Amino acid sequence: MTTLAPEISVSQWFNTPESPTLKSLRGRPILLHTFQMLCPGCILHAIPLIQNVQRVFGKTDLAILGLHTVFEHHAAMKPVSLQAFIHEFKINYPVGVDEAGDPGPMPITMETYRLRGTPSTVLINRKGEMAASSFGHLDEMTLGATLQSLISESQE
């Protein structure tokens, strides 16, 4: 038996009028992409990769969610800075701000998912179960194959 992926905790959303939750997206495969706006690996590799996912899988029902998981330099990456970053890098998928942890520096979703840093990629299947979680660089072809597998799965 597999358990459901835990719900995400988001304090503010960009690029969406709604507040998406994993539960509201149940039935669709989800790519949850966590990043920090000042993380070089995120800017140089992960965000272009996710934007390519949008291009390749844009006609499927894959849901793409960005999550800004700030765990260092908090004062440097406040929402006002993130908003300009999203604009300048032409990011148009929904991006949430991971809710601040208390008292530690780690935000809540990052802590819940035990992510090791940024960028991280979490894949959730149509049933709401965690299918994969990885930290760091992902290969384009491998990600293409993995997403296709998730999309091809029937919900049941």
The footprint of a copy of itself (CB under 8 A) covers: 38-40, 43-44, 52-53, 56-57, 73, 75-77, 80-81, 83-85, 87-89, 139-149, 152
Nearer to a copy of itself, 67 or 143 (CB): 143
Closest distance to a copy of itself from the beta carbon of 128 (Å) = 21
Instruction: State both tokens at 81.
Output: 């800075």
State the nearest-atom distance from the C-beta of 109 to a copy of itself, in Å: 21
39's tokens: 């993380």
Cβ distance to a copy of itself smaller for residue 5 or 53: 53
Cis bond before residue 103 (omega within 30° of 0): yes
The answer to whether the beta carbons of residues 89 and 49 sit under 8 Å apart is: no
Q: How far is the CB of 74 from a copy of itself (least distance, A)?
A: 9
Dist CA 53 CA 91 (whole Å): 12
Tell the smallest beta-carbon distance from residue 116 to a copy of itself (Å): 17
Residue number with CB closer to a copy of itself (70 or 110)? 70
Rounded to 5°, the CA angle 130-131-133 comes to 80
**CB-nearer residue toward a copy of itself: 21 or 60:** 60
Q: How far is CA 13 from CA 4, 64, 76, 79, 117, in A?
A: 23, 13, 18, 10, 21
